Structure 1
Amino acid sequence: MSLSLTLAALWAVLANVLAMLPSRDHHWRTAYMLIAVGIPIVGYVTAQHGPWVGMLILAAGMSVLRWPVIYLGRWIKRRTLR
């Protein structure tokens, strides 16, 4: 397995472990940290393995961080319907 896929797998394991820990802010601070670390990893995977694998890794990350994605979609919808 390449370094980029290894980093993506470690990111997924870290995200799941952090989700098990208690949080006072409903894990939003953790989500921001995971997004900041995950975006370069998705770029690295895409550079090494192409856009299809990059999109699969992006979809996997979006499934882990689904609430920030849902809120982003709601925000975009609110902004475009005005």
Structure 2
Amino acid sequence: MALVLACLWCIVANLLAMRPSRRNHWPEAMALIAAGVPILVWVAWAEGMWLGALFFVAGLSVLRWPVRHLGAWLVRTARRR
């Protein structure tokens, strides 16, 4: 059941990415992150760490811009100290 939900999350994420957005998909990205984290934990717990890692990489590929902005923010924060 966890893998079915993970695959459904991937399909919804790709469908949301295909539609036009005036706010550059940020609300959709935050909703996908909020839904994806519990699904990731469930997949890793139910199916094992390898499939959990695979779903994590799939999520990173879909949500690459929020991850890129997080990385840039972390670098800026580290340079200030």
Same fold, TM exceeding 0.5? yes
Report the counterpart of residue 55 of structure 1 in structure 2: 53
Q: Which runs of 5 or more residues in structure 2 are unaligned?
A: none
Question: What does residue range 3-82 of structure 1 map to in structure 2 within 5 Å?
Answer: 3-82=1-80
Report the number of matched residues. Answer: 80
Q: What's the RMSD between the two structures over aligned residues? A: 0.7
Structure 1 window deviating more from structure 2 (51-60 vs 4-13): it is 51-60
Q: Which runs of 5 or more residues in structure 1 are unaligned?
A: none
**C-alpha distance in 2 between matches for 1:47 and 1:60:** 17
Percent identical among aligned pairs is 51
**C-alpha distance in 2 between matches for 1:72 and 1:55:** 19
Cα shift readout 1:10-63 (whole Å, capped 9, x = no counterpart)? 000001111111111010000000000000000000001121211110010000
